[in-house]
Amino acid sequence: MHIIAISNRKGGTGKTTVAVNLAAELAALGYRVLLIDLDSQGHCAVGLGVTLNASAATAHDVFVTAAATLEAAIDPTPVENLWLAPANDRFDHGQSGHDLRCLARAIHQDNLSQKFDFILIDTPPSLDTLFMNALLAAHRVLVPYVPHHLAFQGVRQLLRALFPVMTKTNRNLKLLGFLPVMAANQMRQHRKVTGQVVHDFGESRVLRPIRTDIRLAEAMAAGQPIRQYAPKSRGAQDFAELAQEVINRIETK
């Protein structure tokens, strides 16, 4: 089983769009995939067309209730081979306490490694306890970013937070790569920022971009992954290629 945290400390980077669509593409390839939503906006459920009732168990329950299990929050989605542990959209991040290994224990105790091939974690855009729980549970971290100057600064800040985790508290954690999203190569600023990422972190660290495509926003609003909503769109093509690139990088490291 491979656990991938999808993280950026800045909001508005397409993080949830990446989480939903990468999960759907991996599922389409026949892998059994669990998507854990730790972002209390709860947009993973929206993007997959999952309607939650007020009493439904959520991924956040394990952070506030000792008896809660992650497995109780897992439900199938309309996408074959894809399950979701949804977020609690009323969760107060101050409730998460100081236990940085709560999520890792929940994954281990529920024996999820025997049930899923991939676990993807959509992290909140903040350097809090939930974010650290994701990093300490994960094997890889994928960093989506929009190619503009402020987003680049956010990437550098995130790397400063990742370094002590990767060298001390979770030495199994590796950087899967930086993923340009909403990318438009014809825009000088986009080319410049991605060039800075390549210069600072190496060309091999940067994945092929997800190009700007209004169909991606439409798909999220419609509650469908892009491969279902607009299978011939450039967004669908880009995410299909991303899934294969993720698999290739994992298999070669």
Q: Chain-wide mean pLDDT for the chain? A: 89
**2-251 classified as CATH 3.40.50.300:** yes
Q: How far apart are CA 107 and CA 116, in angstroms?
A: 11
Place of tokens 């994945």: 207
- In this predicted structure, what is the pLDDT of residue 80? 96
Place of tokens 């199994």: 172
Burial environment of residue 92 by CB neighbours within 10 A (0 to 12, 13 to 18, 19 or more): exposed
125-139 pLDDT, tens digit each: 877 899 999 999 999
The domain locations on the chain are 2-251
Q: How far apart are CA 49 and CA 122, in angstroms?
A: 16
Burial environment of residue 15 by CB neighbours within 10 A (0 to 12, 13 to 18, 19 or more): buried
pTM of the model: 0.92
Sign of CA dihedral 215, 120, 2, 203: positive
- Nearest Cα to 189, choosing from 155, 148, 145, 146? 148
42-59 pLDDT, tens digit each: 899 999 999 988 889 999
What are 27's two structure tokens?
A: 């599922």
- In this predicted structure, what is the pLDDT of residue 189? 61
Q: Give ∠ CA 31-34-37 in degrees, rounded to 5.
A: 150
- In this predicted structure, what is the pLDDT of residue 111? 84
Sign of CA dihedral 200, 202, 203, 205: negative
